[in-house]
A and B are shown apart, each in its own frame.
Chain A
């Protein structure tokens, strides 16, 4: 008793993607299983039963596959699962990590971008080592303002699928190491500000640093949906709109 709840609470507090499966009716009503993911090489992962029990091994085996799908789709689902001549009424309750927008570069565009992201319920982080950019006056509205080198800050952050990273510094020395860090993590969105020409140069620098083309293709560049805007607010809106689109499309795929 209490062991399962503590495991669930800990996973949620640590912003881990997990699922809690509950039997909703029948003799085993109320039985639960916490399902977590075991990360394997190159971003693939498998679901593993962590704590709790549904009382039947065959049921748990069948549930793991469905829980993995639900976690992939990032969507809580009620299912009816036939196992051993019985129809099981189950809730697969998917707990998502808090969505985070990590902005590299405390530039002008970052100011409205923080406002939009907060409005949409995202936790916001701005990273910039340059003291004249990263000021409390400009970023009083951000959840976290980190004054250090972007790659160092990113390495400590444990970026996950609910983390969205944008690089806005326009400075290769800052953006490129930050992008390499982000690409090493399963971040749900990675975008880089800059023209097609800037991006071509960036791609070359990343290739030279040993980043694979497949990884490089995860970068959204030029960043943002094409709204035809030029002002900082319009560009911030285009970036935010693209993040929302990417996140919602991923959910759609799971339906």
Chain B
């Protein structure tokens, strides 16, 4: 998480809201381990990663919605569900990501 702190600080100092996505479950092979993080600013900028790049754009969309509603959510990305076909985890694994507004 250390590597994304500077960007989060910059966004917050500029008065932007920030959402945080964290890998909370990994089934099968996955490029990023439990605890891997992606931070998203309200204007859609991102730092960090929750996968090797395959689910980031979907996670950013989800993060922006979370900023709108203010409610955290658990999202699953994997080959078994439809969104995963769209975003495509190349490694064939499934990951669960917790997305929350960084308002704590």
Residues of A whose CB lies within 8 Å of any CB of B are 1-2, 4-5, 9, 12-13, 22, 24-25, 29-30, 32, 52, 76-78, 91, 93-95, 98
Contact = CB atoms under 8 A, between A and B. Distances in A.
Interface residues of B, number: 20
Contact of B100 (A30, A77, A94, A98): A30
Contact of B104 (A13, A52, A94): A52
A52 B34 CA distance: 22
Contacts of B8: 9
A4 B24 contact: no
25 contacts: A1-B103, A2-B12, A2-B103, A4-B104, A5-B102, A5-B104, A9-B5, A9-B8, A9-B9, A12-B2, A22-B22, A22-B98, A24-B24, A25-B74, A30-B100, A76-B34, A76-B35, A77-B34, A78-B24, A78-B25, A91-B22, A91-B34, A91-B35, A95-B1, A98-B2
Contacts of A9: 5, 8-9
B5 A91 contact: no
Nearest to B34: A76
A54 to B, nearest CB: 12
A98 B72 CA distance: 29
Task: Choose among B9, B98, B102 the residue with the greatest number of A CB atoms under 10 Å from its CB.
Answer: B98
Contacts of A4: 104
Task: Choose among B9, B24, B35, B71 the residue with the greatest number of A CB atoms under 10 Å from its CB.
Answer: B35
B44 to A, nearest CB: 21
Contacts of B25: 78
A31 to B, nearest CB: 9
B88 interface: no
A207 to B, nearest CB: 40
A76 B2 contact: no
B101 to A, nearest CB: 8
A91 B104 contact: no
A24 B98 contact: yes
Contacts of A30: 71-72, 100, 104
Nearest to A76: B35
Interface in B49-104: 71-72, 74, 98, 100, 102-104
B22 A12 contact: no
A76 B33 contact: yes
Interface string B7-37: 0110010000000001011000000011100
Contacts of B98: 22, 24, 91
A13 B5 contact: yes
A80 to B, nearest CB: 11
Given A22-B98, A76-B35, A94-B35, A1 B104 contact: yes
